[in-house]
Amino acid sequence: MGERTQYAPGTFCWSELSTSDLEGAKSFYAGLFGWQAIDNPVPGGGVYSMQNLAGKPVAAIAPQPEQQRAARVPALWNSYVSVESADAAADKAKALGAAVHAPPFDVMDVGRMAVIQDPQGAFFMLWQPRSNIGAGLVNAPGAMVWNELRSPDLDGSAAFYSGLFGWTIDRREGTAMGVYLGIKNGEANNGGIAALTPPGTPPHWLVYFGVEEVEDALAKVAALGGSTLLGATDIEIAKIAVVADPAGAAFAIYAGQMEP
């Protein structure tokens, strides 16, 4: 079980669901992972619902922004990467060919963030921590355990993120997903990059959450109104599956060897 009090820059530190059904999502994830919701009012109305497990924040559920609803963007999970400076990282991302969809802005006194779309089309968030580092618990059942980019251009993605965050890439051939690029941030494993499937799927970062048993979790997903997108798959060190919540937000579940 990985309790965290800080994150090295370049590390995935937080995941956040943007959904059109806040109450339904809170009920679904409470039933699946045992999350306890703490609703925090935000300026201008609405709430930002922190999700706790064993007294530690593990994720958040937030109402979908109005512009996303108007554009009929489906519910989705967002991945945040910790940085020393959101402004400097956003400038560097732009210089490397990314689009800065939301320039750096303060999130009250908890941090500063920006929304980036990489050159291949996947969105992610930069997080400069102040009073909030992100998740207080990772690499445990019910918590974030992995972040994986699904990209149409593995080499292009590897070059962009290595340039932005200094990640090193470990190319692995003949895995269950074909060619797989493992990501290291310093000496720590920090996610992976895999080919985009199925055809027509937009490039995206996929968040993995830990579970005790994949088959039991799949049954629970179905009972709670979710769906299975990719059934249980053995990847040697673990079993994984890809599922969607009732509003259609996709995420992966993982049972097996976890990082410290």
Each residue's pLDDT tens digit, 145-198: 999 999 999 999 999 999 999 999 999 886 767 899 999 999 999 999 999 987
The per-residue pLDDT for 1 is 58
Q: Which CATH number fits domain 2-129: 3.30.70.20, 3.40.1530.20, 3.10.180.10, 1.50.10.10?
A: 3.10.180.10
**Do the domains 2-129 and 140-256 sit in the same CATH topology, yes or no?**
yes
pLDDT tens by residue, 76-95: 999 999 999 999 999 999 99
Per-domain boundaries in the chain: 2-129, 140-256
- For 140-256, give the CATH class: alpha beta
Which residues 6+ apart lie within 8 Å of 168 measured at CB? 162, 183, 184
Residues paired with 228 in a beta bridge? 243
- Whether residue 106 is predicted with pLDDT greater than 90 in this model: the reply is yes
Q: How many other C-beta atoms can be found within 10 angstroms of the C-beta atom of residue 234?
A: 11
Which residues 6+ apart lie within 8 Å of 205 measured at CB? 77, 78, 79, 122, 123, 124, 147, 148, 149, 150
Whole-prediction pTM: 0.96
Instruction: State how far the Cα of 195 lies from the Cα of 229, in Å rounded to an integer.
Output: 16
pLDDT tens by residue, 190-216: 999 999 987 788 999 999 999 999 999
Percent of the chain scoring above 90 in pLDDT:
87
pLDDT tens by residue, 23-35: 999 999 999 999 9
